Amino acid sequence: MSLAIALNDGKKIPWLGFGTGTALYSKDAENAVRQAIETGVVHLDGAQVYNNEESLGAGIVASGKPRSSLFLTTKLNLIPAGQTVRDTLVTSLKKLQTDYVDLFLIHFPINHEASLPEIWKQFEEIQKEGLAKSIGVSNFRVKDFEQILPTAKVIPAVNQIEYHPYVFKADQPVIEFMKKHNIIPTSYGGLTPIVRFSGGPVDPVLQSAAARLSKETGATVTEGQVLQLWLRAQGIPAITTTSKASRVKEYLAAETLPDLTPEEIKAIDDEGSKVHHRVFAKFFDS
């Protein structure tokens, strides 16, 4: 199996995840998913709100890989009137053509009819039943954790958040809180500094680290891979997406690259902290 990180429930999450949101949102993801799996990806990240669980499931089937060799995530959107959390997951499982997910997350802490503690209780029951091996949350702030933890029987295994150098400073309170409770952050939008805000203060650090690693390894190391190494240094799984097979290979290659130096990591932290750019879940800063 590829590089994996231990969760608080004894399971492991593969470090690199292929996401079916953003570029693939509401689109047919079958070919992209099949291609990612054939290239070596084992961790696939979907969601009810992405509106493409059927094609994610079809891509898994088309790859021919046994289900047990893959790590599959989906996320709860809003619970339709008259339904339970379990009902929504059963619908997802049919679409995904599987009888369990490895990880099931509350996608957002806001806009639910039911309270977060009530929703989390239903998640615990789903895990007990085996429909989800691990359970967790996404886009949770400290105040959202403070709602569910007092009555939780199971501590969330992960909190999937937008995490990159330009939200490094803003995300520290929740990261520190999660450390205390042994909850792993997983990152989405990790390539934001180069994809959406190029020309920012972290660019020179990324360029110099990429040049050093390219020289050291004799292979071309990209700035995107440097951002992945920054996440890897913190033990944070990276969820990313692309429609290009060459890009998937580049992401996977980051698993075996040498580490960034402590000085490079600190420089990325420091330079990233000079500006603030959150692209998704803007409520997170409230």
Q: Which residues fall within 8 angstroms of residue 221, CB to CB, at 6 or more apart?
A: 210, 213, 214, 257
Task: Return d(Cα 3, Cα 5) in angstroms, integer.
Answer: 7
Q: Does the active-site annotation cover 50?
A: yes
Token pair for residue 267? Answer: 């420089």
Maximum alpha-carbon separation in the chain: 60
Token pair for residue 121? Answer: 């209780």
Region for residue 8 given its phi and psi (left: phi exceeds 0; alpha: psi -120 to 50; beta: otherwise) = alpha
Determine whether the annotation assigns residue 276 to a binding site: no
Token pair for residue 109? Answer: 């802490």
Q: Which residues fall within 8 angstroms of residue 245, CB to CB, at 6 or more apart?
A: 35, 39
Helices of type H across the chain: 30-39, 53-63, 85-96, 116-129, 142-148, 168-180, 192-195, 203-217, 223-233, 245-253, 262-272
- Select from 192, 181, 172 the least CA-distant residue to 241: 192
- Select from 41, 5, 66 the least CA-distant residue to 253: 41
Q: Which residues fall within 8 angstroms of residue 256, CB to CB, at 6 or more apart?
A: none
Unique residue bearing structure tokens 């669980």: 53
From the list 50, 163, 188, 251, the catalytic residue is 50
Q: How many residues does the chain have?
A: 286
What residues are designated binding site for substrate?
107
Query: Catalytic residue positions?
Result: 50
